[in-house]
């Protein structure tokens, strides 16, 4: 496992550590197997290509997609969402159409929609965030129209840690003829994902937040929709035939994976999926919930702080954000850093949410299956020093 010592690492929502089996898979590829995929006519190239494609199959099963053509390897959630915005939404949106997001979206699930709204004349609409960190389904019902072509929502908030119930949302969106895009960046390492049960039409996540390497991610798309997604990158591997003036594309998913892919990243992602499946999401949840109860009870009983969103530990999936009433978030993080405790402080790539919470920044502590109770205790002990500043 990535060794952060002497640091107590409570920034797992930014990125998680990598277990030994993921580290070994990545180094093995670079040390003994570094060939390209989908091209070589020799044994090792065939072997690595089948390992690469086996990960696609593994990811398909991991998120319950119907077939592996629906799994596109990307560089991460940001890349996946940009592909949907530039390759799909840009084609289908017309002036007067609507895109709906919530006020708690990460900039990755917001700025691409702003851009596509500006390019197509569609309107970007917002759903409020309730005090307990949910969207208001009544507001959604009122605001949805037959012009709402895309609803793009996070499945778990990277700031508030709350999980949105997207299945009923998908049902409503579909009744109006729209599609649901789910940002699952904060889910993949914590909770099982079932794209069928969710009713998600597109879903994005990153390997590095689920114990895999950086630079690898997944775009899931319902096959009929992925067929409509125009490639936004052109070049080797994605073409079928090239003439002087034109070209035709490979079938899915290769036509959306131009150029040499992140092969080590894909293999590492496969190892991360194995790791998660071996631990099991029931055990992961039990561990995280135990730590979150300890963390939130510590925060709530000792400190003059405000916790944003739900006050119930069970509602927090990995992350909790807070502020001391009289100390700026950056000062809190700096004091914690001096005690070798790593947390995040700032606007968390969620500026509209900060405005809604009436703050410019928050402190975020975030855990994963790899976090220990000793790390949580060191965090709480270091917060005592922050509180000391108030005396
Ligand atoms: N969405 C959410 C909810 C996130 O937490 C993050 C990462 N902080 C992203 C999108 C973007 O992920 P990446 O930087 O891996 O592309």
Ligand 1 proximity of 105 Cβ (cutoff 6 Å): no
**pLDDT for the residue numbered 391:** 61
pLDDT at 389: 73
Does the annotation count 349 as an active-site position?
Answer: yes
Pocket probe mutation, ligand 1, options 15, 78, 162, max atoms within 8 Å of Cβ: 78
185 lines ligand 1 (CB under 6 A): yes
Point out the residues of the chain with pLDDT beneath 70.
Answer: 390-391
The protein residue with its alpha carbon nearest to ligand 1, atom 5, reads 158
Kindly report the pTM of this predicted structure.
0.98
ipTM of the complex: 0.99
pLDDT one-digit tens code per residue, 168-220: 999 999 999 999 999 999 999 999 999 999 999 999 999 999 999 999 999 99
Q: What distance in angstroms lies between residue 113's CA and the mean position of ligand 1's atoms?
A: 15
- Residue 120 Cβ inside 6 Å of ligand 1? The answer reads no
Closest to 101 measured CA to CA, from 205, 5, 178, 13: 178
Class level of CATH domain 8-18+281-390: alpha beta
| Whether residue 186 has its Cβ less than 6 Å from ligand 1 | yes
CA distances from 347 to 128, 159, 363 (A): 18, 9, 9
Residue 275, CA distances (Å) to 15, 25, 51, 284, 341 in order: 16, 12, 16, 11, 26
Residue 359: exposure state from Cβ atoms within 10 A (0-12, 13-18, ≥19) = middle
Q: Is 162 in the pocket of ligand 1 (CB under 6 A)?
A: no
* pLDDT for residue 140: 97
Distance (Å) from CA 75 to ligand 1 centroid: 11
Report the pLDDT value the prediction gives residue 22, as an integer from 0 to 100.
98
d(CA 313, CA 299): 11
- What is the CA(244)–ligand 1 centre distance, in A? 39
Residue of 155, 349, 357, 376 with catalytic role? 349
The pLDDT of residue 54: 98
* CA 12/CA 17 separation, integer angstroms: 8
Q: What does the domain layout of the chain look like in residue ranges? A: 8-18+281-390, 20-278
Task: Determine whether the shortest distance from the Cβ of 74 to ligand 1 is under 6 A.
Answer: no
Going from the Cα of 110 to the center of ligand 1, the distance in angstroms, rounded, reads 11
CATH T-level topology, domain 20-278: 3.40.640
């Amino acid at each position: 496992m990535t060794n952060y010592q002497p640091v107590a690492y409570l920034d797992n929502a930014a990125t998680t550590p990598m277990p030994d089996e993921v580290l070994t898979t990545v180094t093995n590829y670079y040390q003994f197997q570094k060939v390209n995929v989908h091209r070589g006519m020799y044994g090792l190239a065939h072997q690595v290509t089948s390992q690469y494609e086996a990960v696609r199959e593994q990811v398909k099963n991991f998120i319950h997609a119907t077939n592996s053509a629906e799994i596109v390897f990307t560089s991460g959630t940001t890349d996946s969402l940009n592909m949907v915005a530039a390759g799909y939404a840009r084609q289908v949106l017309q002036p007067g159409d609507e895109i709906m997001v919530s006020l708690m979206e990460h900039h990755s699930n917001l700025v691409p929609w702003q851009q596509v709204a500006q390019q197509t004349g569609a309107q970007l609409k917002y759903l409020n965030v309730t005090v307990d960190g949910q969207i208001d389904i009544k507001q959604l019902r009122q605001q949805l129209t037959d012009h709402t072509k895309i609803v793009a929502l996070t499945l778990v908030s990277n700031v508030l840690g709350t999980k949105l119930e997207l299945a009923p949302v998908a049902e409503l969106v579909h009744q109006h003829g729209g599609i649901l895009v789910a940002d699952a960046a904060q889910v993949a390492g914590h909770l099982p994902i079932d794209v069928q049960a969710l009713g998600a039409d597109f879903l994005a996540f990153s390997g590095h937040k689920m114990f895999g390497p950086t630079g690898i991610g997944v775009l899931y798309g319902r096959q009929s929709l992925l067929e409509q997604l125009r490639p936004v990158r052109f070049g080797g591997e994605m073409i079928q035939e090239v003439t002087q003036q034109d070209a035709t594309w490979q079938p899915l998913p290769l036509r959306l994976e131009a150029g040499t892919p992140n092969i080590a990243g894909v293999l590492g992602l496969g190892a991360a999926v194995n790791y998660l499946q071996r631990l099991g999401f029931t055990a992961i949840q039990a561990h995280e919930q135990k730590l979150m109860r300890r963390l939130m009870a510590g925060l709530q009983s000792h400190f003059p702080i405000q916790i944003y969103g739900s006050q119930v530990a069970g509602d927090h999936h990995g992350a909790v954000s807070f502020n001391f009433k009289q100390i700026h978030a950056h000062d809190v993080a700096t004091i914690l850093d001096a005690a070798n405790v790593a947390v995040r402080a700032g606007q968390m790539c969620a500026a509209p949410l900060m405005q809604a919470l009436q703050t410019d920044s928050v402190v975020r502590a975030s855990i994963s299956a790899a976090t220990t109770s000793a790390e949580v205790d060191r965090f709480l002990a270091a917060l005592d020093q922050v509180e000391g500043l108030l005396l």
